[in-house]
Structure 1
Amino acid sequence: MSHQISIEASDVSFACEPGQSVLDAALKAGIDLPYSCRKGVCGNCVGAIAQGEVTGVGGAAITNEACGPGQVLYCMCAPAGNVVLRPVSWKRLDPSARKTFKAKVHSNQLAAPDVSVLRLRLPTGQRAKFQAGQYLQILLEDGSARSYSMANPPQENDSLTLHIRHVSGGLFSQRVVQLAPGDLLDIELAFGHVELAADDTRPIVFVAGGTGFAPVKSLLDDMLKRRVQRDITLIWGARDPAGLYMPAAVERWQKQWPGFRYVPALSDVPAGEAGGAFAGRVDEALKASFADLAGHIVYCCGSPPMVSAVRGAAAERGLDPTDFHADVFVPGPQTAAPTE
């Protein structure tokens, strides 16, 4: 039996089928609520239930450390009856904003032993509309899809750049090493809810793990093109130096913003061998770099455990929970968030 979901102080109302999450029902109905991982980790989808009751989908927990008083994870809960939502934000999806393209491989380069930088060109005369930090889906022949963040800024809209980590047994990531210029891929974009406000001038800290660098690069290159001036820190973590695979991009930002602070973090390198890098995890690097994060914005992108650890570290340093924004990379075949 389906239940009806409404949004407080609006005329929006839609059905939620048995076993369907509040978030999935909203997206199916054309209502865009903030989200990223859809696995109850990132906390982007937190919101309140103004009326009614919800239960965990499949018995899952409906709250985590990102939830404030009275808030739940819309991605993990289903209505027990008719409910009224009080989301942090929402908007109607624009059907014309999401498009499919047959993109052509322009180049395919190995940036690290386990990372490919794949550059795609759109058909002549066509442009992709997306926001910095969003992602696309590569549509595979078996009907499944893989999701990857755009690493290029939205101003470069006739091409798309992806950073793809090679995952053992990964259906597409194992195939990517064989892609050659001229090969065609079916793609759809744009997906993802980017919450960083363009007019926010507060100090911002980007924390990336591995290929979580891709959406960070898109955001920073977009800020560079818009000549944004604000205090910026980048903490980029990898197991070893090879994992920090794009030093030229960092050098460009350092030239543009003399006060740009870069903290490379190497988790598998002993302190005596780390050179100028921080020896340890990115959450440890964050705590070592900041005594107080009050009044800052933190944008974190990486695996679920990494994001959880960074969220905890940021809270320890006084960050307001509403100023923590996350983009969680989940393993395929999940298509609701970027996959590594």
Structure 2
Amino acid sequence: MSHTIRIAQTDLHFPCAPGQTVLDAALAAGIELPHSCRKGMCANCAGRVDEGLVEGLGGAPLHHEACDPDQVLLCLCVARSDLLISPTRYRRVDPAAAKTFVAKVYKHQMVASDVSLLQLRLPAGQRLKFRAGQYLQVILDDGSRRSYSMANPPHESDGVTLHIRHVPGGRFSAVLPTLQPGDAVRIEGPYGSFGLREDSQAPLVFVAGGTGFAPIKSILDDMVKRGDSRRPVTLLWGGRRLEHLYLGAAVQRWQRLLPGLEFVPAVSEPIADTPPEVFRGDVRQALLARLASLAGHELYACGAPALVTALRQTAVQHLGLAPQDFFSDAFVSGPTPDAEQRRLAAA
């Protein structure tokens, strides 16, 4: 049977169908809760269940090491009774905003040995309306999906640019080398709640690992477009080798147009003749070495789940960042489960 979910200290409530997660039910009702990976790996969706009973989808664990003791992962919670929940934040959205497009490849280039920059164009007259930091899903021939952040800013809405790391054995990684200009690619979006808090004046710290640079690029390009140069910005971008910091021209442009932007490139593998501006070590070590305190800052982290978790711990436990000022987008490889797959998993 369906259950009713209420958000504490509001008059908001929404139905939750059998086998539907709390996050999916909220999104279907036009209420966006914080989320990113939707697989229980990033903990962005962590919130409290103040009243009622829940269980993990398909027996999944409801806790993550980044959760507070009284929090659960709302992306994996299935209601077993009516609920009263306290998410960290929420906002109203249009549940029909995500749309499907048949885009065409405009340009495809290798920008590193294992990274493609894929530019897609939408059909004439169509636009993908999104917020800087959001992602889309590429729909493969077998119906499975892969999620990629838009690297272009929202005003470039007639197409999308994706930064795609080639994953050995990956389903879409096998398709990527064959894509040529004019080829069709089905996409759907936008999705995700990651994005800049524009009502804040706090200094900004962006930390990217590899292709986690993509959503940060969208946010910084959007800041340039809006003429938003009032907040100090520090950008740390890490990779195994220098080639993995593949868009130096974009960083140089921001340094010209966003006064005071500080860029810290970090390379984890030993290299000969390291340029003096390059930090030798991983991006978490660079964060510790280059910033004495994060008190009063906001940190936006993008990359693999293990990196995001390590950055959260480092920023909060060692650099004084307030937990509520840590925002992240965890890049999880593999299929993105949709609502029907989640329902079947719980059946």
**So what's the TM-score if we normalise by structure 1?**
0.92
Separation in 1 of the partners of 2:69 and 2:31? Answer: 24
Q: Is the 8 A contact 1:40 1:75 kept in 2?
A: yes
Separation in 2 of the partners of 1:216 and 1:49? Answer: 32
Give the structure 2 partner of residue 317 of structure 1: 319
Give the structure 2 partner of residue 295 of structure 1: 296
Give the structure 1 partner of residue 47 of structure 2: 47
Superposed displacement of residue 189, structure 1: 1.1
The alpha-carbon distance between structure 1 residues 81 and 241, as it changes in their structure 2 partners (threshold 3 A), is same
Separation in 2 of the partners of 1:167 and 1:174? Answer: 9
Separation in 1 of the partners of 2:199 and 2:81? Answer: 40
Matching of residues 42-81 of structure 1 within 5 Å: 42-68=42-68, 70-81=70-81
- Does residue 254 of the first structure (1) align with residue 231 of the second (2)? no
Superposed displacement of residue 59, structure 1: 4.3
Separation in 1 of the partners of 2:60 and 2:226? Answer: 42
Separation in 2 of the partners of 1:261 and 1:278? Answer: 13
The alpha-carbon distance between structure 1 residues 260 and 154, as it changes in their structure 2 partners (threshold 3 A), is same
**So what's the TM-score if we normalise by structure 2?**
0.90
Superposed displacement of residue 171, structure 1: 1.0
Give the structure 2 partner of residue 326 of structure 1: 328
Give the structure 2 partner of residue 191 of structure 1: 191
Separation in 2 of the partners of 1:167 and 1:325? Answer: 25
Superposed displacement of residue 121, structure 1: 0.9
Q: Which moved more, 1:223-232 or 1:195-204?
A: 195-204
Moved over 4 A (4+): none
- AA aligned opposite 1:259: G
Q: Is the 8 A contact 1:41 1:308 kept in 2?
A: no
Q: Which moved more, 1:269-278 or 1:292-301?
A: 269-278
Q: How many residues align?
A: 335
Q: Which moved more, 1:113-122 or 1:93-102?
A: 93-102
- AA aligned opposite 1:248: A
Provide the aligned C-alpha RMSD in A: 2.0
Instruction: Identify unmatched segments of 5+ residues in structure 1.
Output: none
Q: Which moved more, 1:169-178 or 1:107-116?
A: 169-178
Give the structure 2 partner of residue 152 of structure 1: 152
- AA aligned opposite 1:111: V
Give the structure 2 partner of residue 235 of structure 1: 236
Give the structure 2 partner of residue 139 of structure 1: 139
Give the structure 2 partner of residue 179 of structure 1: 179
Give the structure 2 partner of residue 281 of structure 1: 282
Give the structure 1 partner of residue 5 of structure 2: 5
CA-to-aligned-CA distance 1:206-231 (integer Å, 9 cap, x gap): 00011010001000000011111211
> What secondary structure sits across from 1:17 in the alignment?
coil
CA-to-aligned-CA distance 1:68-119 (integer Å, 9 cap, x gap): 4633221233334321112222344414422111111111111111111111
The alpha-carbon distance between structure 1 residues 270 and 61, as it changes in their structure 2 partners (threshold 3 A), is farther
Matching of residues 194-233 of structure 1 within 5 Å: 194-229=194-229, 230-233=231-234
Q: Which moved more, 1:80-89 or 1:96-105?
A: 80-89
Separation in 2 of the partners of 1:148 and 1:95? Answer: 20
Separation in 2 of the partners of 1:217 and 1:173? Answer: 22
The alpha-carbon distance between structure 1 residues 146 and 335, as it changes in their structure 2 partners (threshold 3 A), is farther
Separation in 1 of the partners of 2:114 and 2:189? Answer: 25
The alpha-carbon distance between structure 1 residues 60 and 320, as it changes in their structure 2 partners (threshold 3 A), is same
Superposed displacement of residue 258, structure 1: 3.3
- Does residue 129 of the first structure (1) align with residue 112 of the second (2)? no
